[in-house]
Amino acid sequence: MADTPRILPDEVQRLTLQAPLPLDCGTELPDVQIAYETWGELNADKSNVILVCHALTGDQFAASPNPVTGRPPWWPRLIGPGLPLDTDRFHIIATNVLGGCMGTTGPASNAPDGKPYATRFPVITVADMVRAQRAVIAALGIEALFAVVGGSLGGMQALEWAAQAPEQVFAAVPIATTARHSAQNIAFYEVGRQAIMADPDWCDGDYIAQSRQPQRGLAIARMAAHITYLSEEGLKQKFDRGLQDRDTASFSFDADFQVESYLRHQGRSFVERFDANSYLYITRAVDYFDLAGAHGGRLADAFKDSPTRFCVITFDSDWHYPPADGREIARALTAAGAEASYIEVETDKGHDAFFLEEPRFEAALAGFLNAAAEQRGLGA
């Protein structure tokens, strides 16, 4: 496996926050840098901005190739001229989340003493991620967003934006997400974290200083998580019980089944682009996410009298964040008096459907954004 790539300053666009960032854990993080990318033109009154929030292991390169890893954009079907997030009409901004490893300050970044934070990095939450994004938006001279759009962890950020700063969000589209991480999902992420920490090359989190990388543990963490992003039907159609083309007469620890080979490839490719400590911190932030708990235990109170327009989108084969989670969000929005719609898309692609070709999802997203743009007074 290749070493995790080092990020060079001239490869990533970053903004340094002028003030320390207050965190939910009670401390402040100094000299925070947020990496971001933009597409499309900002209109005269800066009213056409869509913030795109990435999922757990994503980055800011939603609509352009990643110059660090060489990977293609992860939302090319949605962002661009004439697409649902139309760059001829909207100004799109995507940031790398706080705690990330693609240019934003995280565990791999240097602390004030010049050494990598590693596990000295403070505990972060989804709310902290949104505070950092709000600081970036303000620094860019943008007072309000037309829309916040994101799937999975990105959907959590969209909900948190609407809860933290409803007056700054005209429309929000939380996709394939939840308002509260379930015990089952916490359990899956804990398996991944334990795999990383059990790797001898983790070195109690100090692996960068020791020129090592916990590649095996991180690969296993990715494999375990990736299973939850797929559906049983999708796996059956793609692999079923297909065997690799080799002699299986004797027992081997090699991948016998095609699905095993697929998961191992997912693990190998993941360690080439992601930092292990970032994975620990971001998965923990997701586990802590409980929007109702942050508002007295009643989810509707997070959106009381919200002026934001919402479109909650789920996928019927998603068992990571199932449709029931989306319906709970939609009911809470209705109870809060918010303008909200709920769309459940039939698909066999599971949780990852929002990354893949899914015309019904794309049409639903485009329809909502176009209707909201008309309400906002944004021309076609």
- Digit-coded pLDDT (tens) for 112-126: 999 999 999 999 999
- Digit-coded pLDDT (tens) for 248-289: 544 445 666 677 777 787 778 888 899 999 999 999 999 999
Average pLDDT over residues 225-233: 80
- Which residues are registered as beta bridge partners of 80? 86
Q: Over the chain, what is the mean pLDDT? A: 91
Active site residue 318: yes
Active site residue 352: no
What is the pLDDT at residue 149? 98
- With cut-offs at 50, 70 and 90, classify the pLDDT of residue 7: very low
- With cut-offs at 50, 70 and 90, classify the pLDDT of residue 26: very high
What is the pLDDT at residue 3? 43
What is the pLDDT at residue 266? 77
Using the predicted structure, report yes or no on whether residue 193 has a pLDDT greater than 50: yes
Using the predicted structure, report yes or no on whether residue 168 has a pLDDT greater than 50: yes
For every residue of 274-286, DSSP letters joined together read --HHHHHHHHHHH
- With cut-offs at 50, 70 and 90, classify the pLDDT of residue 237: confident
Average pLDDT over residues 224-236: 78
Strand locations in the chain, DSSP E? 14-16, 21-22, 28-29, 33-39, 49-53, 79-80, 85-86, 91-95, 145-151, 169-175, 309-315, 339-345
Burial 228-267 (b: 16+ CB within 10 A, else e): bbbbeebeeeebeeeeeeeeeeeeeeebeebbeebbeebb
Among 59, 128, 287, 318, the one annotated catalytic: 318
Residues 95/102, Cβ–Cβ less than 8 Å: no
What is the pLDDT at residue 253? 56
Among 47, 152, 306, 317, the one annotated catalytic: 152
Cα 209 to Cα 24: distance, rounded to the nearest angstrom? 28
Q: Which fold has domain 9-184+290-376?
A: Rossmann fold (3.40.50)
Using the predicted structure, report yes or no on whether residue 1 has a pLDDT greater than 50: no
What are the φ and ψ backbone dihedral angles of 368, each rounded to 5 degrees? -65, -45
Average pLDDT over residues 351-364: 96
Q: Which of the pair, 235 or 378, is modelled with greater confidence?
A: 378
What is the pLDDT at residue 254? 66
Residues 311/173, Cβ–Cβ less than 8 Å: yes
What is the pLDDT at residue 2? 39
What is the pLDDT at residue 6? 47
Active site residue 305: no
- Digit-coded pLDDT (tens) for 291-335: 999 999 999 999 999 999 999 999 999 999 999 999 999 999 999
